[in-house]
Chain A
């Protein structure tokens, strides 16, 4: 690695001050599982590294007036261990569990995963299916936006180098919304997704309500399958409808062929995984309805 100056922030306010002080030749370090890999092969690197991994205020996972707030610095292991998340959104636990292996999950953070913004990121689809928002801190203060607007392109987000992703918020209206995540890779461990999918929905009088489908690894950024969603909304819950939604989603995606899989194979995976994610979310929704009636 090229030489750099190293400074450490104890909280988000100090991080902001350090970023402002060191300007544009600065790079933020969280878990380092993407950044250090990148810096090891880079021909030139940042002059200053601001290590935010000890900023305790950015690690919190809690319910707030806005919804479920997950600090950008929560590691994938901490998400898997959070009782709050386990109770409310097991799909987020499942998604975190598919990332790399134990060692990577112990260091790697949710924020780092979103900021690196590779199309195959495993934490994206579930959050997008739950219409998550992100909070960004910059020189002009804090602002919020939907996660879909945060992603700009492969390895590109809306963040400026001196801006901080503070937390990720699942809005109140979606707390407890049934959601399911599925990933298909070449192996179970240490494998990037060929396709990953999340589906969230409510079921009312046996029809789909607010279905949301998010697809990863099949477009420049994690995408919503809005045509498949529109097809399902208000439609009766049947196996045929879910199969058709899978077919529509496969048509909406723009998968590529690479050394891992062909575009055709990825399309087949989208259709099958979308259908299965919907089926599982429906099961969760029905179980919830029964729980309410009791």
Chain B
């Protein structure tokens, strides 16, 4: 067993896990954060995308111990009790998801993009989503929602705390 401590959605969390535990399993099984999904488990589908120290990664391809001391943001860390994050709000407004399995990963990829590029081109959005596979709704409405939320976030009217 190895003890790991990291910041998860702003709070310090500690767990004792076998070294072969992936970050995804730590989040889902130990911290009960089931927003990040177990999809392909080999880095292709992006359903397990979380943001580690500002960068989107596949939680299935990172050992939990590798996140020691780092800051992890999962989909659970985006909304507040009262309000969705502007990206989530835009996805809801535009009906950008259908089954929703890819949603947490897609939204976190979008968040990481907009944190770096507040006014991305369509091509930049497509590039940012190329590691997130959606098999039902398609990408058109996601891209529209990301453009819409980018506008809201640039306006500074919405919550930018996260």
Using a CB–CB cutoff of 8 Å, the interface residues on chain A facing chain B are 1-6, 8, 29, 31-33, 36-37, 39-40, 49, 51, 53, 77, 100-104, 106-107, 188-190
Contacts and interface: CB of A to CB of B under 8 A. Distances in A.
Nearest to B132: A101
Given A37-B42, A106-B55, A188 B61 contact: no
15 contacts: A1-B22, A4-B20, A6-B65, A29-B63, A32-B62, A32-B63, A37-B42, A40-B41, A49-B19, A101-B131, A102-B56, A103-B131, A106-B56, A107-B62, A190-B44
Given A6-B2, A36-B22, A100-B131, A77 B62 contact: no
Given A104-B131, A188-B130, A3 B66 contact: no
Contact of B131 (A4, A39, A102): A102
A189 B130 contact: yes
A107 B42 contact: no
A32 B61 contact: yes
Contact-residue size bin, chain B (C-beta under 8 Å from the other chain): 20 to 34
Interface of B: 2, 18-20, 22, 41-44, 46, 49, 55-58, 60-63, 65-66, 109, 112, 127-128, 130-133
Contact of A33 (B61, B63, B132): B61
DSSP class of A's interface residues: helix, strand, loop or mixed? mixed
Contacts of A39: 20
B131 A189 contact: yes
Given A6-B19, A36-B63, A107 B57 contact: yes
